[in-house]
Structure 1
Amino acid sequence: MTGALRIVIIGVGNEFRHDDGVGRAVTARLEERTAVRPLPPGTVLATCDGDPARLLALWENAGLAVVVDAAHAEPPHPGRVHRLTLGDPLDGPPDGPRPEGTATASSHALGLGEAVELSRVLGRLPRRLVVYAVEGADRSLGRGLSAPVAARVDALVRAVEEDVVRHVAYEERS
């Protein structure tokens, strides 16, 4: 698969810290659905603990990288999804500032921001990057997503599938 068409979908997080596992839950659901609705040939479904070097290795040379990760926000709104883009001609410029009084960050000590910056400096950013940051309610030890986060998984799967379809259609027109 050429770099422009290479697609990687990365579920970031720790499935043993409740809502931090939302990214992994989305990639698992995508894997289940590929039997009925296959993704384009060569699409990679991956999971990652959020380490910037591992993220960089996973999305290197990708035409599209979609990342799903848990996020912290103040004030918190469990289940709220933030969609952020970088280098996306289909969406125009990256999403604007967040509404006043809110701030989100990865749920990992080092996160996506560091991975993006490291990739930029090294010239290894994917051509398009779409990040779905899902505000969590519970990061304590244990398995299973909280109700508000679990309720978003199917919608996230559909959104990721739509990003992939849009990317393939765009690349085929170009």
Structure 2
Amino acid sequence: MSKELGFNAIEMQYLRHSLALTTAQVAEIGKVSEADVIAWEAGEKPAHMPVQKKLIEIDEAIEMQVLNTCDGIEELFKSEPKRTLSFVVYPTQALYAQYNPEFLGTLPLAELYNTSAWRIKKECKLMLEVDVVLVPLDFESYKAYREKDGLKESRENRAKWAKAQL
């Protein structure tokens, strides 16, 4: 790709859709106005290269999560029979930020984490023949689950809670 030529209008729009982002969210990530994003997607002006690069970096981070997670699941099922897995997804940005501070740099919005979970679900079904169920985090239910068993907050305990929701 030359310095002059970036994504065309339709490519920008479909990249945004593939990440499940609104024009306002792309504007927030790229630190531009929503009007700029709308103009890019309408072909009225070229998209800023830094925004294109940031969206591609996010897409690549999601793909790495998908590959790494699917590799781990494949290893798990070499020794265990097929079963259903559950993944926690976050219905609000506040819950996502509270429970996933380690991802805020690479995946700054809950929607991006949830897009990653969606892609993992599809990859596991198609390639590994493993069923993955996406479970939205319900803070009150999760808190009650932890308190009942005296558990601390951890990724493993969120996974156990999600499994209990199936």
TM-score normalized by the length of structure 1: 0.29
Bigger Rg, which one = 2
Higher RCO structure, 1 or 2 (CA under 8 Å, sep 6+)? 1
Higher strand proportion (structure 1 or 2): 1
Higher helix proportion (structure 1 or 2): 2
